[in-house]
Amino acid sequence: MSSLTALVLAAGLGKRMKSTLPKVLHRAAGWPLLLFPIRAALEAGADAVVCVVSPAVEEAVAAVLASELPGAPVTVAVQAVPRGTGDAVKAGIGGVASERVLILCGDTPLVRADDLRALIDALGERELCLMSALLDEADGYGRVLRDERGRVLEVREHKDLRTDAERAVREVNAGVYVARTAALRTALGQINAENAAGEYYLTDAVAVAARGAGAVAIVGHADNLLGVNDRAQLAQAESLLYQRIARGHQIAGVTVRGDARIDAGVTLGPDAVVEAGVTLRGKSRIGAGTTVDVGSVVTDSQVGERVLIKPYSVITESRVDAGAQIGPFAHLRPASEIGPDAHIGNFVETKKTRVHRGAKANHLAYLGDGEIGEGANVGAGTIFCNYDGFQKHLTVIGPGAFIGSDSQIVAPVRIGKDAYVATGTTVTKDVPDEALAIGRTAQENKAGYAPRLKARLAAAAKQKKAGE
Ligand code: UD1
Ligand code: MG
């Protein structure tokens, strides 16, 4: 097969977004909009991609591409002034050496590789092939005008339509094309800006091709061609993307319920279950047989197999190993590492803490900057006092240790293997292996004192009420 370069046009102003962020860097389902057409083009067989951008966003786009698609054959070309889609293609086609070019828009995130493949196949030996769609409401789009035998004559922009018959045409140009590079270069040399918008229209190249070796249009699904111009369309596109992503996982053997939102960059193993109201973000990986229950939010985290993430847990930039149980209402902050079969229960917050195999912290705890040994048990209300107002310090708890409830562990400190910290202890010194640390005031019992105390308190209350 001959080589193919994709041009992604993204030098428009994007004014309707009303944003300081370039339109194509707004995110939908976790990815900057621009990434969707680029990935679709690569998936459809493009050997290289050139993004045509305005000078103002060149650096920002290049930085995003370097971080999101490292090593991919994607470069950036600059269109100095937005003088129309035809001019944008001229700006991008300069260095293209491939025999064919695929042209897409940067703001159409629903475009699919399958549709692009069909378009490429339909080109055959012709000069140009474009994708169209049938819309009930075609206002604003360029119309595909055909002759009485159905052959494509031209695409006429909405502003340039002349008759009611033209305005009644429901077949619109989707803005996705494939063309022979040499023929397109020639056609671009013939177009001018004599139209209602005063722009160089790429669509005029369609008419040139139609007069030459021929242009064809294939009809795609309208949903896949939705363009994002404002934030209402951004929301619409994102909700269609989430539906499509969920369906892809469902077909692959994942249960996805209700309105779960799974970002484009997330992977899920077979038999994973994603309940309603869950959000899986960024580059998260969820292992086989793992359940993420209602309302949990997992961002850029690795979750192993058969993990149970109970409702309303929040996990960020962390790792959870096979068989662990998290939540409900647990908060794993960045760099938490929860080992196999460990339990992190309700209202437990961890940060930069490693919890080894089978260790448990089941209720109400703050575990920051620590290490908790295999099989250790951390009682309710335990706090790692990791911060002195200036520096963070480390807490190390040995394997098999038992930390009684309501203990404060003042870091830096080490608690030995199989050691025992009595409930309510403030640990400020290292505890040797197998030692008992107890640091609470001794209890005193006063025989028969309770009734006397109650009588005294009741009398005081009565006196106060009488005085009011
Ligand atoms: C274009 C088509 C129209 C089609 C519609 C589909 C033309 C003349 N018209 O119209 O037939 O129905 O898309 O959505 O092509 N861009 C640049 N530089 C420019 C101008 C635009 O890079 O100077 C980029 C934009 O960032 C955008 C794409 O090209 O990604 C399309 O431009 P836009 O202004 O949205 O074209 P439409 O008027 O929608
Ligand atoms: Mg548009």
Strand 128-134 versus strand 171-180 pairing type: antiparallel
Give yes or no: residues 90 and 12 share one domain.
Answer: yes
Instruction: Please say which residue of 191, 225, 259 terminates a domain.
Output: 225
> Which of 10, 73, 77 has the alpha carbon at shortest distance from 37?
10
**Percentage of the chain surpassing pLDDT 90?**
94
| Domain shared by 250 and 185, yes or no | no
Place 212 in a pLDDT band, splitting at 50, 70 and 90. confident
CATH number for the domain harbouring residue 187: 3.90.550.10
- pLDDT value at 297 more than 60: yes
Range of the domain at 319: 231-437
Q: What residues have CB less than 8 Å from 417, skipping those under 6 apart?
A: 373, 398, 399, 400, 401, 433, 434
- Which residue among 169, 196, 225 closes a domain? 225
Shared-domain flag, residues 175 and 321: no
108 vs 267: CA distance, rounded Å: 23
Instruction: Output the CA 85–ligand 2 centroid distance in Å.
Output: 10
Question: How far does CA 328 lie from the centroid of its chain?
Answer: 23
Is 305 within a domain? yes
Does a structural domain hold residue 340?
Answer: yes
- The percent of residues in the chain predicted with pLDDT above 70, rounded, is 100
How many C-beta atoms lie closer than 10 Å to residue 88's C-beta?
27
pLDDT tens per residue across span 347-356: 999 999 999 9
Residue 167 within any structural domain of the chain? yes
Per the prediction, the chain carries an average pLDDT of: 96
Q: Is 36 in the pocket of ligand 1 (CB under 6 A)?
A: no
pLDDT (tens digit per residue) in 24-33: 999 999 999 9
CA atoms within 13 A on the CB side of 124: 9
Q: What is the pLDDT of residue 468?
A: 85
pLDDT of residue 213: 80
Span from the CA of 85 to the centroid of ligand 1 (angstroms): 5
Residue 272 sits in the same domain as residue 221: no
Residues 109 and 137 reside in one and the same domain:
yes
Q: What secondary structure does DSSP assign to 169-224, as a single string?
A: --EEEEEEEEEEHHHHHHHHTT----STT-S--THHHHHHHHHTT-EEEEE--GGG
Q: Which of 175, 192, 185, 174 is nearest to 209 (CA)?
A: 185
Query: Is 446 part of any domain?
Result: no
If asked whether residues 239 and 345 sit together in one domain, one would say: yes
Q: Is residue 240 part of a domain?
A: yes
Residue nearest to atom 8 of ligand 1 (CA): 201
Q: What is the pLDDT of residue 125?
A: 87
Q: Taking the CA atoms of the chain, what radius of gyration do you get in angstroms? A: 32
47 inside domain: yes
CATH number of the domain bearing residue 374: 2.160.10.10
Task: Report the pLDDT value the prediction gives residue 13, as an integer from 0 to 100.
Answer: 81
Ligand 2: centre distance to CA 444 (Å): 80
Quick check: is 463 in a domain? no
**Are 21 and 80 within one domain?**
yes
Range 290-315 average pLDDT: 98
Q: Is the CB of 87 under 6 A from ligand 1?
A: yes
Q: How many domains does the chain have?
A: 2
Question: What pLDDT, on the 0 to 100 scale, is given for residue 2?
Answer: 67
Average pLDDT over residues 219-225: 90
* pLDDT at residue 314, rounded to an integer: 99
- Please name which ligand lies nearest the alpha carbon of 10: 1
In short, whether 82's Cβ falls inside 6 Å of ligand 1 is: yes
In a shared domain, residues 303 and 167: no
pLDDT in tens, 421-439: 999 999 999 999 999 999 9
**Which residue owns the Cα nearest ligand 1 atom 16?**
12
pLDDT band for position 225 (50/70/90)? confident
Cα separation values, 238 from 10, 111, 198, 267, 331, Å: 19, 13, 33, 18, 27
Is the beta carbon of 11 within 6 A of some atom in ligand 1? yes
Please answer whether residues 199 and 158 qualify as being in contact, where contact means their C-beta atoms are separated by less than 8 angstroms: no
Question: Among 164, 199, 225, where does a domain finish?
Answer: 225
Q: Give the tokens for residue 298.
A: 């997992």
Q: Are residues 197 and 275 in the same domain?
A: no
Q: In angstroms, rounded to a whole number, what is the distance separating the alpha carbons of residues 290 and 319?
A: 13
In DSSP notation, 322-344 reads TT-EE-SS-EE-TT-EE-TT-EE
Residue 414 sits in the same domain as residue 272: yes
| Closest CA to ligand 1's atom 3 | 142
**85-93 helix and 203-211 helix, angle to the nearest 10 degrees:** 80
Same domain, 249 and 142: no
| Separation CA 150–CA 162 (nearest Å) | 20
What is the distance in angstroms between the CA of the first residue and the CA of the last residue of the chain? 97
Going by their DSSP bridges, the two strands 171-180 and 261-262 should be labelled as unpaired
Whether residues 101 and 196 share a domain: the answer is yes
Give the mean pLDDT of 373-388.
Answer: 98
pLDDT at residue 1, rounded to an integer: 47
Closest atom of ligand 1 to CA, residue 229: 35
182: which 2 tokens?
Answer: 């040499």
Residue numbers annotated as active site: 363
Using an 8 Å Cβ cutoff, are 91 and 77 in contact? yes
Q: What is the pLDDT of residues 312-345, one digit of tens each?
A: 999 999 999 999 999 999 999 999 999 999 999 9
Q: Is position 457 within any domain?
A: no
What sign does the CA torsion over 207, 210, 216, 219 have?
Answer: positive
| pLDDT one-digit tens code per residue, 235-288 | 999 999 999 999 999 999 999 999 999 999 999 999 999 999 999 999 999 999
Could you tell me what percentage of the chain is helix, strand and coil, using 3-state DSSP and rounding each to the nearest 5? 25, 30, 45
Average of per-residue pLDDT across 409-419? 98
